Structure 1
Amino acid sequence: MRSIKSLYFKYKEIINYLIVGVLTTVVSLGVYYICTVTFLNPKNAFQLQVANIISWICAVIFAYFTNRKYVFESKNPNILKEASAFFLSRVGTLLMDMGVMFIGVTTIGGNDKIVKLISQVVVTIGNYVFSKLFVFKKGQSE
């Protein structure tokens, strides 16, 4: 029977990614909710997307540093190149997020808070795949 410790080390990257993903989602949702409760109207399509983009920027900054250190344990000395690849990969999932929000809220008329939460699940999966395949590739630490 495997111990919890050995299971953790076997799946450490995925477990840490899920933890960081939850924290990143908290940052994203928190910033989004603050924007829409204080100064942006989610019923206005433009303001909805502004709130979405502000929350995305805050979440991506948080996610880059936490993924680099705790998930992928990157030692890549070219931080600028790595960060650029990270931010560019996140643009793809931002477009997915904006699409889900547009369809779910603007087109269908769903609750923006619930649609945002659903969108975060899709974005989290996409972010892991992009990070693993394109940003924090093993062997780039030299």
Structure 2
Amino acid sequence: MLKELWDKYKSIVAYLFWGVVTTIVNLATFQILSSGIHWNYEVATVIAWFVSVLVAYFTNKVWVFGSHYTTVSDFIAEIFRFFFYRALTLVIDIVITFVGISVLGFKDPLGQFIVKVIDNVIVIVANYIFSKWLIFNNNKKIENK
């Protein structure tokens, strides 16, 4: 019974684990840049996004979805899809941080951090949906041929 549950949910468990790691990378990078060295929060958001997407791509590729492309062109197509869909969630990220910080006024470090935590939960769910059905799904179709 436990093995059946593990087999059924192992990609979700792995995604959640690596999602936490990626979120920590995102939040830490954002906090260091925005509160630590006082960069503009929009710039800090974009840099935190880029760093966390690099971490997410390689962890998702290897440990979550087990992508095993063998050609360079397939790898390039996969990483392009990954960054494309992550760019869509970057737009969500920027909108949420703008609304939370500039519109709603959560401008102090704790307020910014709370906004980023809420933001990351929404972004993680969107990223899982994109990864599961639009990015790494094509790899499974190729392997089954």
TM superposition score normalised by structure 1:
0.90
Partner of 2:83: 87
Where do residues 42-121 of structure 1 align in structure 2 (5 Å cutoff)?
47-77=40-70, 78-110=74-106, 111-121=111-121
Partner of 2:24: 26
CA root-mean-square deviation: 1.3
The CA distance in 2 between the partners of 1:18 and 1:8, in whole Å, is 14
Runs of 4+ in 1 over 3 A off after TM superposition: none
Q: Is 1:16 aligned to residue 14 of structure 2?
A: yes
Contact 1:85 1:135 in 2 (8 A): yes
- The total of aligned residue pairs comes to 135
The CA distance in 1 between the partners of 2:134 and 2:37, in whole Å, is 36
Q: Which has the higher helix share?
A: 2
Letter in 2 for 1:102: F
Q: Indicate the SS of the match to 1:116.
A: helix
* Structure 2 gap segments, 5+ residues each: none
* Structure 1 gap segments, 5+ residues each: 42-46
Identity of aligned residues (%): 38
Q: Indicate the SS of the match to 1:87.
A: helix
